[in-house]
Amino acid sequence: MQGKKIALVTGASKGIGAAIARDLAGDGFHIWINYRSDHEQAESVAGEIRHAGGDCTLLPFDVADRAAVLEVLEPLLEKEVPEVLVNNAGFARDGILALMSPADWQDVLSVHLNGFFNVTRVVLARMMKKRRGRIINIVSTSGETGIAGQVNYSAAKAGLIGATRSLAVEVAKRNILVNAVSPGFIATEMTRDLPKEQILPMIPLGRIGEPEDVSGLVSFLCSERAGYITGQVFAVNGGTHT
Ligand code: NAP
């Protein structure tokens, strides 16, 4: 681990976050794997990374819980500062707004927006001192177009797109690059129960994406070759939204 650059990936126990963790480990980063509760899956991702010759550390905490975030990250940040932060942790609680519970509204905004704030705030302060860093926020097509039944999720992801653009301008002089990656339908636990027969006709490329379709772009955005790209939102959605 000594001397390796660090990438903190939130929500990396499965799905898109796990693919990002695997790819960035392959790129030579030591991965701080955050997740909330699925220890078994997180151990499995860590095992894959180590088996492939990479390094990682498991960091379970709820990104929406500011005290928990600080308790885990502050002692680590005293010693080392991640070069890369990927804000990926999240979930949806779909339902029409007229019937949405306050908890479903609040929890979705909390995990995506407060989660972004809690983790980014504490890491960014250190990145700014080092004058170096990459931040990637995983947003969604839902934050760019309207999708019925996802008003809470769309609001959260659209908010994160706004935060990406403003933060990019705010920290550009410190050599910190901030971008968003916006997946369409990707095959993960989150989309497992969606009706495929209704979704596929909406995707010009005719297939649901794989987590690796997203992680490849994140890997590029974290590389030296992406050093002049900031404040952008990149769609990975098989051509669904233009
Ligand atoms: P997933 O397979 O359900 O994985 C979600 C990950 O987030 C898990 O590692 C989970 O950890 C973690 N997580 C959830 N709440 C958390 C919290 N409060 N604190 C810390 N970690 C938390 O989901 P996914 O499909 O890969 O989604 C990843 C990101 O991509 C999300 O931001 C999602 O909104 C976005 N996205 C997904 C799609 C899609 O089609 N799949 C499309 C657009 C955008 P535990 O399991 O341990 O709780």
pLDDT digits (tens, 9 = 90+) for 93-123: 999 999 999 999 999 999 999 999 999 999 9
Q: Which two three-digit tokens encode residue 75?
A: 């002692």
For 145-200, strand residue ranges (E) read 176-183
Q: Return the best residue to mutate from 190, 196, 200, 237 for the ligand 1 pocket (most ligand atoms within 8 A of CB).
A: 190
pLDDT digit string, tens, across residues 153-174:
999 999 999 999 999 999 999 9
Distance of CA 187 to the CA centre of its chain: 16
Ligand 1 centroid to Cα of residue 15, in Å, is: 7
Rounded CA separation 64/154 (Å): 18
Question: What pLDDT, on the 0 to 100 scale, is given for residue 242?
Answer: 57
- Residue 185 CA to ligand 1 center (angstroms) comes to 13
pLDDT at position 193 over 60: yes
Determine the pLDDT at residue 3. 81
Classified as helix, coil or strand, 170 is helix
pLDDT at 218 over 50: yes
Name residues contacting ligand 1 (CB within 6 A): 10-17, 34-38, 62-64, 88-91, 111, 138, 140, 183, 185-186, 188-191
Q: What pLDDT is recorded for position 144?
A: 96
What structural domains and CATH numbers belong to the chain?
Answer: 6-236 (3.40.50.720)
Closest ligand 1 atom, residue 214 Cα:
30
Burial label, 99 (beta-carbon count in 10 A; 0-12, 13-18, 19+): exposed
> Would you say 224 and 232 are in contact if contact means Cβ atoms under 8 Å apart?
no
CA nearest 213: which of 189, 174, 194, 239?
239
Return the closest-CA partner of residue 161 out of 108, 213, 87, 71.
87
Stretch 28-56: mean pLDDT, rounded? 98
What 8-state DSSP symbol labels residue 209?
B
How many angstroms separate the first and last alpha carbons of the chain?
Answer: 41
Beta-bridge partners for 209: 186
pTM of the model as a whole:
0.98
Confidence label for 41 from pLDDT (cuts 50, 70 and 90): very high
Dist CA 118 CA 70 (whole Å): 8
Average pLDDT, the chain: 97
The model's pLDDT over 134-143, given as tens digits with 9 standing for 90+, comes to 999 999 999 9
Token representation of residue 147: 């999708």
Output phi, psi for 194, to 5 deg.
Answer: -75, 150
- Is pLDDT of 2 > 70? no
> Is the pLDDT at 205 greater than 60, yes or no?
yes
Question: Closest residue (by CA) to atom 3 of ligand 1?
Answer: 190
- Do 13 and 188 meet the contact criterion of CB atoms below 8 Å apart? no
Nearest CA to ligand 1 atom 18: 62
Instruction: Yes or no: say if 54 and 45 are a contact pair by the CB < 8 Å rule.
Output: no
Q: Say how many Å lie between the CA of residue 173 and the centre of ligand 1.
A: 31
User: What is the token pair recorded at 223?
Assistant: 């590389």
Q: Which two tokens stand for residue 196?
A: 């495929």
* Residue 228 designated active-site: no
Q: What is the pLDDT of residue 1?
A: 45
Q: In angstroms, rounded to a whole number, what is the distance separating the alpha carbons of residues 157 and 236?
A: 15
Instruction: Quote the ligand 1 centre to 109 CA distance (angstroms).
Output: 14
Torsion angle defined by CA atoms of residues 194, 37, 180 and 153, in that order, rounded to the nearest 10 degrees: 50
Classify 44 as helix, strand or coil: helix
Mean pLDDT of 68-92: 98
Beta strands of 40-175 (E only): which ranges?
A: 55-60, 84-87, 133-138
